[in-house]
Structure 1
Amino acid sequence: MTTPDPELTRPRARARPAHAAPAQAAVPWRSILVPVAVGTAVAVVLGVYGRLHTGANISLALPGFTGTLYVKAWLTTLAFVFALVQIFTALVLEGRIRLDLSGLPAVHRWSGRLAVLLTVPVAVHCLYSLGLRFDDPRVLVHSLVGCLLYGAFVAKMLLLVRWGLPRWVIPWAGAVLFTAFVALWLTSSLWVFTTAGFHL
C-alpha cells in the first residue's frame, strides 16, 4: 500500500475573494514625521531669529492706511477671511457640508495660498523690525503663533505630496494651520480694532 503524498493531502489556504477588503496597511509614520519635523524646524528657526535679531524699527506703509499697525491688521484680517474660505471649502470637499459647486478644489487651493501670502509682509515686518518679545504676554503668544503658522504651512505642503497617508493626516494639518490663523488674528487685528479703533 502506497503512502499518500503529503503535498497532495495538505489542506490548501483559502484564496481571498476578489471583493474582499484588503488588509489594513500600516501607518507610514516616517512619511508623517519627516514633514512634521521639517515644519517644526522652520517654526523654531523663525522664533530663534526673531529673538536674536535686533529690531530695525522700520515701517510698513501702504497708500490709504494711516500707519503700519493698520496695514498689518487689515492684511491679517484679509488672510483670516481667506482661511475661513479654505476651512469651509475643505468641509465641503470632505463631505461634511453637502454643496455642489464647480471649481471648488481650485477655490480651496487658492484661498490657502492667498491667506499665507498676505501674512508674509506682516511676518517680515514683525521679525525684522520688532523681533520676538517676552515682556508682553499678548505679543509673546502672537509671536509664537506666527512661527507655528509657517511651520504648520510647510508641514502641510510636504504632507500633501506624500502618498498612502491615512485620511486624518491632511485634515489635522489643516486644522492646526487654521487654528494658528485664528490665534494670529485674535492677538493682532482684533486687538488693534478694539484698542485703537476700527478704521484704515
Structure 2
Amino acid sequence: MSAEQRTAAPSVVILGAVLIGAAVAVALGAYGTLHDPRFFSVNVAGFSSPTSVKSWLATLATVLAVFQLGSAAAMYGRIPGCTAPSWFGAAHAWSGRLAVLAATPVAVHCLYALGFQHGEPRVLAHSLFGCFFYGAFVAKMLLLTRKGLPGWVIPVAGGVLFAGLVGVWLTSALWFFQNNGLVL
C-alpha cells in the first residue's frame, strides 16, 4: 500500500462515520417530525412527573459525561501534574455506557411522546441538539472500532458528543430546574 493510500484510508473512515452519524441525526429528526406524538410516558415511582424523571436522567448522563471529559483529559495527559490511575480507562468506558443508559429512555420518551418540536426557540434548539447528539454518538462509536486513525480523532469526536449532550441538558433539564426547582 502506498503512502497516499495509507493516509486516504483514515480520511475515508472518518468521513464515512460522520456521514452515517449525520444520516442518523436526520432520520431521528424526520421520524420526530412525521411521527404523531402520543403524549404518553411511563412515570418512575418516586418522581413527581415524567418531566422530572427526564430531567434527572439527563442530569445523571451529563454528570457522567463531565467525568468522561475529565478522565479522558487525564488519560491523554492534558491535565498538568496529573497521572491517570490505571483504573481510569475502565471507569471512563463504564461511565460512558452508564451515560448512554441514562440518556436513552429520555430520548425514547422525547421522540415517541413529543416528537421533533419547533414551537419556540428553546424547544427547537433542544430538538436539534437531541438529533445531533445521537448522530455524534453513532459517529463516535463507529470511529472507536477503527484502528489506525490519527490521535486527534477520538478526542474530537468525544468533545463533539459532549457538546451535544450539554446542549440537550441546557435546553431541557436546566430549563426545567430553573422553572420548577430541584423537584423529584
Task: Quickly name the TM-score band, shorter chain normalised.
Answer: over 0.9
| Higher share in helix | 2
Aligned length: 178
Look up the match of 2:156.
Answer: 172
CA distance in 2 between partners of 1:82 and 1:70 (Å): 18
Q: Mean alpha-carbon deviation: is it higher for 25-34 or for 86-95? A: 25-34
Please provide the CA RMSD for this pair. 1.4
Alignment of 1:16-31 (within 5 A): 26-27=7-8, 28-31=10-13
Look up the match of 1:189.
Answer: 173
Q: Does 1:83 align with 2:65?
A: yes
Structure number with greater Rg is 1
User: 1:131 Cα deviation (Å)?
Assistant: 0.6
Equivalent residues of 2:43, 2:50 under 8 A apart: yes
Unmatched tracts of structure 2, length 5 or more: none
Look up the match of 1:146.
Answer: 130
Alignment of 1:156-171 (within 5 A): 156-171=140-155
Equivalent residue letter for 1:88: G
Equivalent residue letter for 2:58: T
Equivalent residue letter for 1:89: S
CA distance in 2 between partners of 1:60 and 1:82 (Å): 24
Unmatched tracts of structure 1, length 5 or more: 1-22
> When the two structures are superposed, what TM-score results if normalisation uses the length of structure 2?
0.93
Equivalent residue letter for 2:183: H
Look up the match of 2:22.
Answer: 40
Equivalent residue letter for 1:43: A
Q: Does 1:96 align with 2:78?
A: yes
User: 1:100 Cα deviation (Å)?
Assistant: 3.5
Look up the match of 1:65.
Answer: 47
Aligned-pair identity in percent equals 54
Equivalent residue letter for 1:127: L
Equivalent residues of 2:74, 2:83 under 8 A apart: yes
Equivalent residue letter for 2:41: S
> When the two structures are superposed, what TM-score results if normalisation uses the length of structure 1?
0.85
Moved over 3 A (4+): none
Q: List per-residue Cα deviations over 1:62-110 (Å, max 9, x = no partner).
A: 0110001100000000000000010011001100122341311001111
User: 1:153 Cα deviation (Å)?
Assistant: 0.8
Equivalent residues of 1:60, 1:67 under 8 A apart: no
CA distance in 1 between partners of 2:152 and 2:138 (Å): 18
Q: List per-residue Cα deviations over 1:147-197 (Å, max 9, x = no partner).
A: 111111110111111121111111110000000111111111110010122
Equivalent residues of 2:32, 2:112 under 8 A apart: yes
SS of the residue corresponding to residue 55 of structure 1 reads coil
User: 1:26 Cα deviation (Å)?
Assistant: 2.3
Equivalent residue letter for 2:37: G
